[in-house]
Structure 1
Amino acid sequence: MKKTILITGASSGIGKTTAKYFHEKGWNVIATMRTPEKEEELTKLANILVTRLDVTDLESIDNAVQKGIEQFGKIDALLNNAGYGAFGPLEAFPREKMIQQFNTNVIGVLDVTRAILPHFRANKDGVIVNISSIGGKTTFPLGSLYHGTKFAIEGISESLHFELEPIGIKVKIIEPGIIATDFGGRSLDFNNDENMTEYQASVEKLMKFHNNFNEVASQPIVVTEQIYAAITDGTNTLRYEAGADAVDLLANRKKLNDELFIAGIKQQFGY
């Protein structure tokens, strides 16, 4: 019997690459996104259900889970992939954008996970994969909101790992480095107020660093391969690093004390 994965944020980047990869591996795929009517590629493939799911809309979450179960009978894995990055001086963010960042990247993951848990619990089986980031273990300047959400995903996932393992449900964390996706486009919410002159030197340093992303970025398939390994390797391994830069940076984070590691980040950004 074919296995089935439900993926959030499957319209582009890591989510779409993963949907196609699992399809090629013989899985059924529930590819969810906020605007499925705009999807033209995945809809042409057999055994892929393209349906609406907005992680901030509870009704859409429940509907997507139920449609997936109705079409394929069972869901075996969940990939919590949907999210975006809010960067900029904290003072420059309206409160509603602060809330939106956490609603999407944290509360959305909790709501989607909670919606599928009764199904997994009834089957005493299932794998939940949460996309974290190197930004869930380390931080860059002007990323207090984004990093706050990814640090939260790390803690939520690790605790759920204990909570769900006795039931037969596995929880996995993927920690990508810099990936060649649209993170700098629609997946980035950058806020700045040039009247706050004290922050502009930091903004300039961040923009310069961001412009060099392509030189070190890995392709989404690097993350997808780690997702597939996490779901299929049959182990209770919790964390999977994705990308050479992620491996190197996270190794340094483990090895160095705060003073030395932060000094290295400052040097990288030109402080």
Structure 2
Amino acid sequence: MQKTIFITGASSGLGKSTAKLFQSKGWRVIATMRNPNKETELNQLKDVVVLPLDVTDEKQIIATINEVTSKYEIDVVMNNAGYGLIGVLESLDDEMIQRQISTNLLSVIRISKGFVSHFRERGTGTFVNITSTFGLIGFPTCSIYSATKFAIDGFSESMAYELAQFGIQVKVIAPGGMQTDFASRSMEVGQHEAYEKLSAEVSKGYSAEKVAQYTKVEDVAEIVYNATTDNTSQFRYIAGNDAIGLYNERTTIGAEKQVQNIKSMFAFN
């Protein structure tokens, strides 16, 4: 029987790559995005249904979930939509902060809540929530972004406990850097003159040379596919060599020592 995955943020990057991979494996894909009228690739593929969805619109979330669950049995929900808000806290206004939280965190909570009863009544289903290395480890200029990703990690772990009794899995994919246009397409940046030296140092990680060394988005999509089909109860998947290195460092030397190491990198004494 054909399986179905529901994906948010499928217009580009990891969302689109994952949609294409699952389609190639014979799955039906519900690919959602804010502006489906601009999509020229996924809507040409067999068994891909492209739907409009602004993940900050609670009413549209509810209507979309009701629509798809009335037509299909959903096996996997991939909460992928999001963007990066980069900048020291003093550089971010309240509107920027609220927009980040609404897009990256509240959408995951609302979409998950919307699908829980569907999964519970079927006695099966998997949530795959995309977090980040910076959902496990803090980093300068990423305070609000990290706040949303740390929150998704904790939300997902708590939900995994709640839903296990109903045969529902919750899994987290925590990628490091990926070879996408995320830095130019899905990033909002705040600037503050008091932190120019810090911002300049951090921005080196977003250079074209650095991005070229990151993990290919197709490889992360493979990790998503494996996580949904490996028939294990594994909760967290670290994706990419840089992410694995940082995570292993934290588990080896401990969080406190790693915090001190990162502080020393940006002490500028």
TM-score category (smaller protein)? over 0.9
Q: Do residues 171 (structure 1) and 154 (structure 2) align?
A: no
d(CA) in 2 for partners of 1:70, 1:39:
24
Aligned match of 1:204 = 200
Aligned-partner residue type, residue 239 of structure 1: R
Mark the runs of 5 or more structure 2 residues left unpaired by the alignment.
none
Deviation at 1:70, TM superposition (A): 4.0
CA RMSD of aligned residues (A): 1.5
Query: In the alignment, which of 247, 254, 257 is matched to residue 254 of structure 2?
Result: 257
d(CA) in 2 for partners of 1:245, 1:269:
19
Aligned-partner residue type, residue 200 of structure 1: E
d(CA) in 1 for partners of 2:254, 2:53:
41
Deviation at 1:260, TM superposition (A): 3.2
In the alignment, is the contact (CA less than 8 A) between 2:205 and 2:211 conserved in 1?
A: no
d(CA) in 1 for partners of 2:267, 2:205:
9
Aligned match of 1:66 = 66
Query: Cα gap change, 1:115/1:263 in structure 2, threshold over 3 Å: closer, same or farther?
Result: same
d(CA) in 1 for partners of 2:196, 2:204:
12
Aligned match of 2:37 = 37
Aligned match of 2:48 = 48
Aligned-partner residue type, residue 75 of structure 2: D
SS in structure 1 at match of 2:103: helix
Mark the runs of 5 or more structure 1 residues left unpaired by the alignment.
none
Deviation at 1:269, TM superposition (A): 5.7
SS in structure 1 at match of 2:85: strand
Aligned match of 1:112 = 111
Deviation at 1:270, TM superposition (A): 7.9
Q: What TM-score results when the alignment is normalised by the length of structure 1?
A: 0.94
The total of aligned residue pairs comes to: 267
SS in structure 2 at match of 1:216: coil
Structural mapping, 1:24-173, within 5 Å: 24-71=24-71, 73-173=72-172
d(CA) in 2 for partners of 1:97, 1:170:
33
Structural mapping, 1:238-249, within 5 Å: 238-249=235-246
d(CA) in 2 for partners of 1:268, 1:48:
46
Query: Cα gap change, 1:270/1:18 in structure 2, threshold over 3 Å: closer, same or farther?
Result: farther
d(CA) in 1 for partners of 2:126, 2:256:
37
Aligned match of 1:182 = 181
Deviation at 1:66, TM superposition (A): 3.0
Query: Cα gap change, 1:239/1:246 in structure 2, threshold over 3 Å: closer, same or farther?
Result: same
Percentage of identical aligned residues: 42
d(CA) in 1 for partners of 2:117, 2:21:
27
Aligned-partner residue type, residue 29 of structure 1: V
**Over residues 206-240 of structure 1, what are the superposed CA-to-partner deviations in whole Å (9 max), with x where a residue is unaligned?**
12232153243111112111111111111111001
Per mean C-alpha deviation after superposition, the further-off stretch among 170-179 and 251-260 is 251-260
In the alignment, is the contact (CA less than 8 A) between 1:216 and 1:245 conserved in 2?
A: no
In the alignment, is the contact (CA less than 8 A) between 1:80 and 1:131 conserved in 2?
A: yes
Deviation at 1:262, TM superposition (A): 2.8
Per mean C-alpha deviation after superposition, the further-off stretch among 224-233 and 207-216 is 207-216
